[in-house]
Amino acid sequence: MNHRVHPPDWRPDSWQAKPAAQQPVYPEPTALARVLQELRRPPPLVSSYEIESLRSQLAEAACGRRFLLQGGDCSETFADCQSAIIAAKLKILLQMSLVLTHDTRRPVIRVGRFAGQYAKPRSAEHETRDGLTLPVYRGDLVNRPDFDPAQRRPDPELLLRGYERAALTLNFIRALIDGGFADLHHPENWTLSFACAQPVAEAYRQRVAAVQEAVSFVETLTHAPIPQLQRVDFFTSHEALHLLYEEALTRQVPRRTGWYNLGTHFPWIGNRTRQIDGAHVEYCRGIRNPIAVKIGPPLSPAELVALCERLDPEREPGRLTLITRFGADAVTRELPPLVDALQRQEHRVLWVCDPMHGNTETTPSGFKTRRFERILLELEQTCQILHEAGLPLAGVHFELSGEDVTECLGGACGLSEADLTRDYRSPVDPRLNYEQSLEMALHLARLLRPNPATRVSLAGTSPTGAQPGSLGPQTPNL
Ligand code: PEP
Ligand code: CO
């Protein structure tokens, strides 16, 4: 294990001397100071042991021996801190990981975009409606969405509410997992109540049956239940955006060197705040957690190399993840020179694809949406680019919901523009719904299979091979 302390010129608050993008301006600094003081006192949400375990698992994913599945809401809301909604998120992630593990034979690292994903970067500081200008809504950690002066004023008390909601969410997740919710002997616990298109449902059912048979076979041979199958690890992640909040949760722990962000296992730097001399990079370079950076255009190879040097100068296995989000139109042009530049530096990062954020569009009726086939296309292209460079796709990052929402278009369910009005709930970006997520996992599993003949099977069908109502003609075992 590496015992690097932290860079000599770094402190949990050294970011405050750097330009910090996307930070709210609080009208009452004394109230803010009091809240921050209060936030420093309660116990942390996660432990350094869990963080170190995640880091060593990520190091294996970088070499293709594990696979990172990261997903959840674009923006969690306090109102959604409810048992059914949280359980549905766990269920879909468990179902997706069952498919991925079964089909690829690679253990999956499950990381939720949850228990703290409450702050959002925005494209403008203010919003004007009918001559009234107010601060933008920056997520439940900062202010409230209603277009009203009192609701939009950044309120430091929300930092405490966010910390508490994160704790409640995590407490429930831990209780479910410890209570056997994720037990592989009982995947029926994860079944969601929504109907699923027949090919998706059938493909999933076959995998559950195969896993159950394998478990029962091994347990028959060994005359004993396999206790390791009764629980799985779940890790949390969120964008490390609100730096005063992150700093307040940055702690030292007995018998370990360095500082840990104990508000989450796996913080990431957003695409809008990845400036090399900016405050977010400064904060993240000194913490011991594994960290991720979202990367999208414009980004030059030299800039990326400098960013990786800053965040991972010692090239620690599992330390740095790059989450690519270029969009299906740009990825084949933008990604190969970046991959090449890092390979020349022998910088072994995890390459993870977020096929959501580069493929957002607005419909004529004003809905922000994403198309299933564009998402899948970017995944395929990214897999192919990495494969040609001799690298594994180490993971994926999705915005998804365990609910039957109608936010993204397409998939086997054939969700159309007219359907978007039915149940569009996301306050920010559109998410794959339960069924689209499961279908995406089935496609992804095919892309990741070791046999190239089955992996690159979609080329030459439609642009994506995602045929409505099917999982593609060359998808075996469905
Ligand atoms: C997000 O993940 O919700 C987000 C804002 O992404 P990005 O930083 O990649 O734009
Ligand atoms: Co988003």
The atom number, within ligand 1, closest to the CA of 354 reads 9
> What is the amino acid identity at position 79?
A
Q: Fill in the DSSP letter of residue 147.
A: S
Ligand 1 near 301 CB (within 6 A):
no
Distance in angstroms (rounded) separating the CA atoms of residues 124 and 22 = 9
Q: Name the 3-class secondary structure at 136.
A: coil
pLDDT at 451: 64
Distance in angstroms (rounded) separating the CA atoms of residues 408 and 368 = 9
pLDDT at 465: 39
> If you average pLDDT over residues 363-391, what whole number do you get?
97
Alpha-helical segments (H) within 111-197: 149-152, 157-178
Distance in angstroms (rounded) separating the CA atoms of residues 210 and 205 = 9
Taking only the tens place, the pLDDT of each residue in 220-266 is: 988 888 887 777 789 999 999 999 999 999 999 999 999 999 999 99
pLDDT at residue 39 greater than cutoff 60: yes
Pocket mutation for ligand 1, best pick of 294, 398, 399 (most atoms within 8 Å of C-beta): 294
Q: Which residues of 383-407 are buried (b: 16+ CB within 10 A; e: fewer)?
A: bbbbeeeebbbbbbbbbbbbbbbbb
Distance in angstroms (rounded) separating the CA atoms of residues 87 and 16 = 38
Percentage above 90 pLDDT, the chain: 82
Tokens 């766990």 belong to residue: 90
Taking only the tens place, the pLDDT of each residue in 379-430 is: 999 999 999 999 999 999 999 999 999 999 999 999 999 999 999 999 899 9
For residue 239, how far is its CA from the centre of ligand 1 (angstroms)? 8
The atom number, within ligand 1, closest to the CA of 75 reads 3
Beta bridge partners of 395: 68, 352
Taking only the tens place, the pLDDT of each residue in 161-184 is: 999 999 999 999 999 998 888 888
pLDDT at residue 454 greater than cutoff 70: no
Ligand 1 near 74 CB (within 6 A):
yes
Distance in angstroms (rounded) separating the CA atoms of residues 185 and 188 = 9
Taking only the tens place, the pLDDT of each residue in 193-224 is: 777 888 899 999 999 999 888 888 888 988 88
Residue 165: CA atoms inside 13 Å, Cβ hemisphere, count?
21
pLDDT at 473: 34
Pocket mutation for ligand 1, best pick of 22, 73, 74, 280 (most atoms within 8 Å of C-beta): 74
Distance in angstroms (rounded) separating the CA atoms of residues 339 and 351 = 9
Pocket mutation for ligand 1, best pick of 22, 266, 272 (most atoms within 8 Å of C-beta): 272
> What is the amino acid identity at position 82?
Q
- Return all residues near 54 (Cβ < 8 A) that are at least 6 apart: 109, 111, 233, 235, 265, 266, 290, 318
Structure tokens at 47: 């432990």
Choose among 137, 140, 162, 160: nearest CA to 148: 137
Q: Hey, whose CA ends up nearest to atom 2 of ligand 1? A: 74
For residue 436, how far is its CA from the centre of ligand 1 (angstroms)? 20
Taking only the tens place, the pLDDT of each residue in 259-284 is: 999 999 999 999 999 999 999 999 99
pLDDT at 4: 62
pLDDT at residue 367 greater than cutoff 70: yes
Distance in angstroms (rounded) separating the CA atoms of residues 1 and 257 = 12
pLDDT at residue 46 greater than cutoff 60: yes
Average pLDDT taken over every residue of the chain: 92
Ligand 1 near 71 CB (within 6 A):
no
Neighbour-count burial of 146, counting CB atoms closer than 10 A to its CB (0-12 exposed, 13-18 middle, 19+ buried)? exposed
Spatial contact of 325 and 296, defined as CB atoms under 8 Å apart? yes
For residue 321, how far is its CA from the centre of ligand 2 (angstroms)? 18
**Ligand in closest contact with the CA of 426:** 2
Spatial contact of 118 and 140, defined as CB atoms under 8 Å apart? yes
pLDDT at 291: 98
Ligand 1 near 121 CB (within 6 A):
yes
pLDDT at residue 13 greater than cutoff 70: yes
Taking only the tens place, the pLDDT of each residue in 104-159 is: 999 999 999 999 999 999 999 999 999 999 999 999 999 999 999 999 999 999 99
Distance in angstroms (rounded) separating the CA atoms of residues 432 and 72 = 9
